[in-house]
Amino acid sequence: MINKENIPWVEKYRVRSFSDVSGQDLAIEKVKLFLRTFPKKRSIIFHGPSGIGKTSLAYAVALENDSEILELNASDLRDKKKISEIIGPASRQKSLFKKDKIILVDEVDGVSAVKDRGGLAELIVLIEKSAFPIIITANDIWQKKFNLIRKKSEVVALKEVDYKVILGVLKKICEKENCFVSNEVLTSISIKARGDIRAALNDLQILSKMDSPEMIKEIGERNKEKSIFTALQYVFKNSKIDSEMVRVFDDIDMSIDEIFLWIEENIPLEYKGEEMFRAFEALALADVYRGRIRRQRHYRFMVYEYFLLGAGVAGVKKYNRAGWTSYKKPSRILKIWLSNQRALKKKSICSKYARHCHISTKQAMKDFLLIKIILNSKLVRRDLKLNEEEIAYLDKPIIL
């Protein structure tokens, strides 16, 4: 039996109905229309970047219509027998008693026009004859080889999912899984996913399995954010340097290091070209003072640190800014943290190598690309007493 713990959340939380589908309202409307007017067109194409819910939407369609899914993947299309098994019953009259069917052709990009000669032709035959609606999913439907299929089908573009929608999904899952992840981390995951719900779910699942201080829910989170957002608005929108600007970060309940990260993340959202350059110059200089304070305990420099961070970054523009900018939370720390988690195996390998070779683990990490080649040798692996997990990592490294 499959252990429930091990089911990827991506599978566990696949959508069950249209209301579960997040962030694709327009597409849902189009699907509904397609089904109502069937068989005016017999197939509908969902296309868009990976992880935004194409296959999920197809399953939701089936569940909503109480239909069975007949899934054909790219390799089946080459298999005549399989096709005729589908086309056979599919081309006959619909039975009154049997459950309706929906044919899903998943990831049609995988069919090669040259190598799988005939695959796409089979698909066209299928589209022409089918008594059941066909759903086709693809990343890029504008390739030439899909011309005919495109003409015969309803084409629906699925959008990248907005980070707020992803955030909502993550929050719900956290509730169901009974795991506490701070709002900040969830938001960072959502933003980092860049519209890819699947990626976000995978990240969250990895995170949830780790014990770490980041997992502890911070109380008062919302208030804290509010004040940093107000401060960011003030710094980024006003050009006038007044006494308010000089004290802009005074009342924020946040460490100066965190404020640095917020400014760093948001400069490119507000400034372009020369203004961006000048703003980064001010930020970098503030950072130099931060370093001097830290190393030499020269707290007097804090005046300059705060001034550059607020007034310095604000003063690069000549006029006040209008409009509202949606400021992002700092993502760098999470990225570093996630990548460190993934690099743990690499690190344990490097530390063994380092001890063996009288160098620092850091140095070994730096030379890892070269060392990795040397570690291909079984003898070397045995010499360093690498364990199975480490060897598995070397044979198939996890890609960031």
- Residue range at the interface with another protein (CB under 8 A); choices 218-226, 229-237, 244-252, 274-282: 274-282
Q: How far is the CB of 262 from another protein (least distance, A)?
A: 12
Q: How far is the CB of 317 from another protein (least distance, A)?
A: 15
Q: Give the bridge partners for 102, in sequence order.
A: 69
Nearer to another protein, 223 or 339 (CB): 339
The CA angle 136-141-142, to the nearest 5 degrees, is: 155
Which of 50, 362, 389, 392 touches another protein by CB under 8 A?
Answer: 362
Residue keyed to tokens 């000089």:
246
* 164 counts as binding another protein under rule CB under 8 A: no
From residue 105, alpha-carbon distances to 27, 136, 290 in Å are 18, 5, 57
Strand, coil or helix: 56: helix
What does the alpha-carbon distance between residue 60 and residue 54 come to, in Å, rounded to a whole number?
A: 10
Nearer to another protein, 97 or 299 (CB): 299
Nearer to another protein, 295 or 300 (CB): 295
CA neighbor of 24 nearest in space, from 157, 154, 194: 157
- Residue range at the interface with another protein (CB under 8 A); choices 54-62, 102-110, 210-218, 372-380: 372-380
- Residue range at the interface with another protein (CB under 8 A); choices 38-46, 152-160, 235-243, 271-279: 271-279
From residue 8, alpha-carbon distances to 154, 206, 266 in Å are 32, 10, 34
Residues 279-338 contacting another protein, CB under 8 A: 279-281, 283-284, 287-288, 290-291, 294-295, 332, 335-336
Residues 376-395 contacting another protein, CB under 8 A: 376-377, 379-380, 382-384
Nearer to another protein, 306 or 368 (CB): 368
* Single-letter amino acid, residue 384: L
What does the alpha-carbon distance between residue 203 and residue 201 come to, in Å, rounded to a whole number?
A: 5
> Cβ distance 214 to 179 under 8 Å?
no
Which of 13, 146, 163, 368 touches another protein by CB under 8 A?
Answer: 368
CA neighbor of 260 nearest in space, from 333, 185, 341, 336: 333
- Residue range at the interface with another protein (CB under 8 A); choices 12-20, 109-117, 122-130, 361-369: 361-369
> Cβ distance 245 to 234 under 8 Å?
yes
Q: Give the bridge partners for 153, in sequence order.
A: 43
Nearer to another protein, 70 or 391 (CB): 391
Nearer to another protein, 260 or 327 (CB): 260
Task: Quote the crossing angle between the two packed helices 344-357 and 332-342, to the nearest 10°.
Answer: 60
Nearer to another protein, 40 or 382 (CB): 382
CA neighbor of 225 nearest in space, from 297, 300, 328: 328
Q: How far is the CB of 398 from another protein (least distance, A)?
A: 11
Q: How far is the CB of 352 from another protein (least distance, A)?
A: 10
Other CB atoms within 10 A of residue 244 CB: 12
The binding site for another protein (CB under 8 A) comprises: 260, 264, 268, 273-274, 276-277, 279-281, 283-284, 287-288, 290-291, 294-295, 332, 335-336, 339, 343, 346, 351, 353-363, 365-371, 373-374, 376-377, 379-380, 382-384, 400
